[in-house]
Chain A
Amino acid sequence: AQSVTQLGSHVSVSEGALVLLRCNYSSSVPPYLFWYVQYPNQGLQLLLKYTTGATLVKGINGFEAEFKKSETSFHLTKPSAHMSDAAEYFCAVSDSGAGGTSYGKLTFGQGTILTVHP
């Protein structure tokens, strides 16, 4: 079974400040990890993903995340927040398929609402 915990349901930062959204996962097999962003009344848009290889992954809109296996974490960061970053962010894990049945279904965290103040 897989699970995701996002620490902090709400995060508030000033424009230009560092954004840090925390995600910890649990998985019995090598995971694939994802961050999605959701704007009000819209679907989810993929920001970035980790599958294999380099543990620091870069995504769209200046976001990046680092996979730390020892800490079972996949925190999302952005050096300088912009007003347009205000949205809800979801961390998700899927089974990589190694050694078992995988349909690629995603298990999501509960989400973190990011507010950016001018």
Chain B
Amino acid sequence: DTGVSQNPRHKITKRGQNVTFRCDPISEHNRLYWYRQTLGQGPEFLTYFQNEAQLEKSRLLSDRFSAERPKGSFSTLEIQRTEQGDSAMYLCASSLGAGGPSSFTYEQYFGPGTRLTVT
């Protein structure tokens, strides 16, 4: 068990550019979550995958954001036309859910995060 990994760890980009982040969850975990954490705040939920299906998206996830989890393994989060307000730490977490989407879920394991700075 190597834990949740995220790449890159840091990304500096200019306003208007597109960026893509990758998350590799713990291999047997079927649930994957993305959160965003701004300075001085707790993480805020962005989106959730059960295997390859994206089942919930926060209103924080504007149409410039898109997330995928092909084949239910790794996930990518893309931000198009970045804005300075997108600067934050983007955290990925995975967990093992028993049964269907509405069933009890075990604790989430977090990756180290990708820190995005938009200049």
Query: Chain A: residues with CB nearer than 8 A to chain B?
Result: 4, 9, 34, 36, 41-46, 49, 51, 90, 92, 94, 96-97, 100-111
Tell me the nearest residue of chain A to B6, going by C-beta.
A43
Question: In the complex the two chains form, what is the Cα distance from A111 to B35 in whole Å?
Answer: 15
The answer to whether A103 and B41 have CB atoms under 8 Å apart is no
Tell me the nearest residue of chain A to B95, going by C-beta.
A104
B72 within 8 Å of A (CB atoms): no
Total A-B pairs in contact (CB under 8 Å)?
79
Give the Cβ gap from B50 to chain A, nearest Cβ, in Å. Answer: 7
The answer to whether A97 and B40 have CB atoms under 8 Å apart is no
CB neighbours (8 Å) of B43 from chain A are 44, 90, 106, 108
Per the 8 Å Cβ criterion, residues 48-72 of B in contact with A are 48, 50, 55-56
Question: In the complex the two chains form, what is the Cα distance from A100 to B103 in whole Å?
Answer: 9
B105 within 8 Å of A (CB atoms): yes
